[in-house]
Copies of this chain bind each other. A is one copy, B any other.
Amino acid sequence: MAGIERPGPLYQQVAAAIRQGIADGDFPPGSPLPSEAQLIERYQVSRPTVRNAISALRSEGLIEVRHGKGSFVKDAQTPLLTIERTVTRSGKTFAPDPAQWQQAHEPTVYRTTTTDTTGPLLNLGEGEALFGVDRVLTDPATGTRALHRVLIPFATAENAPTLAGAPDTAPEEIYAALTAAGHKLTWSETVRARMPQADERTALELPDATPVIHTLRVTHGTDDQPLILEELRTSGSQAQLSYRITADSPRALRAVRS
């Protein structure tokens, strides 16, 4: 054994030794770890033990393993992209999300109905008709991807003539259309994090051990009536959300459940 004496499972001892090596700068960010064969030799353990140790480090997000090449230390992941979630407005026009999103494809427009998740948020029963618009967004500067969805109840579309014909409008312009229809808009938003589903992992091109940030934003009009629902999913380690907050009098807080 080479420098391993602490108690606990062998593979954890190996993992701890490698962790220490990373912390000590023996393996700087981006550099390769010793190969499995070398780790076997160095710590005098079997291959399953080495692989178990590497698996532990990978699920901590500390290293990245590439088939046929080796294991590499991830660089301390400062989020590359900041997504500003505060809504800004100049007169009657709303500023777009300052992230330089590009659409990977044309938006997908479809019809659907409320579910037990979306129904309560829109203050509708189950089975009510909705327009849905899905977009895959890309930030070309960082390569970060995001999935964006807008759900527009038929009732909302009917009251804002611009929307009924073209639900695949940018969110800023939906806001403007709703304002033009006489609404004074406010928003409520919830944020949660979870591990991605398999399809999300491929759609967002997520590496291992990367959680998904999931936001639900409800746009409220006059009398706090819910008008539309937006959903945004993106990488929790590549992107961060940003909010600006001002103190407000304690109106009845809308309870937002998901």
Tell whether A77 is near chain B: CB-to-CB under 8 Å. Answer: yes
Contacts of A94 in B (CB 8 A): 247
- CA–CA, A94 and B73, complex, Å: 45
- The count of residues in chain A whose C-beta lies closer than 8 Å to any C-beta of chain B is 57
- The 4 A-B pairs with the shortest beta carbon distances in the complex, nearest first, are A193-B236, A211-B211, A193-B193, A187-B245
Q: Is the CB of A195 within 8 A of B59?
A: yes
Is A203 on the interface with B (CB-CB < 8 A)? no
Q: Is A159 an interface residue (CB 8 A)?
A: no
Check if A194 sits within 8 Å of B211, measured CB to CB.
yes
B256 A82 Cβ-Cβ under 8 A: yes
Residue among B194, B212, B237, B253 making CB contact with A244, cutoff 8 Å = B253
What string of 1s and 0s marks CB contacts (under 8 Å) between A199-220 and chain B?
0000000000111110000000
Quick check: B98 and A253 within 8 Å, CB to CB?
yes
| Chain B residues near A211 (CB-CB < 8 A) | 193-195, 211, 236
Known: A82-B256, A241-B190. A88 touches B195 (CB 8 A): no
User: In A205-258, which residues have CB < 8 Å from any B CB?
Assistant: 209-213, 236-237, 239-250, 253-258
| A193: B residues at CB distance < 8 A | 193, 211-213, 236-237
Cα–Cα, bound, A198→B23 (Å) = 14
Q: Does B198 contact A85, Cβ atoms closer than 8 Å?
A: no
- Between-chain CB contacts (< 8 Å), 17 pairs: A84-B253, A86-B248, A88-B250, A88-B253, A186-B244, A188-B242, A188-B245, A189-B244, A191-B213, A191-B242, A192-B213, A192-B236, A193-B212, A194-B236, A242-B256, A243-B243, A244-B253
CB distance B86 to A245 under 8 Å? Answer: yes
- A175-192: which residues lie under 8 A (CB-CB) from chain B? 175, 185-192
Q: Is A89 an interface residue (CB 8 A)?
A: yes
User: How many angstroms between the C-alpha atoms of A189 and B55 in the bound complex?
Assistant: 34
User: Once bound together, how far apart are the Cα atoms of A184 and B197, in whole Å?
Assistant: 44
Q: Which of chain B's residues has its CB closest to A212's CB?
A: B193
Minimum distance in angstroms from A19 CB to a CB of chain B? 9
Residue of B87, B194, B253, B257 touching A245 (CB-CB under 8 A): B87
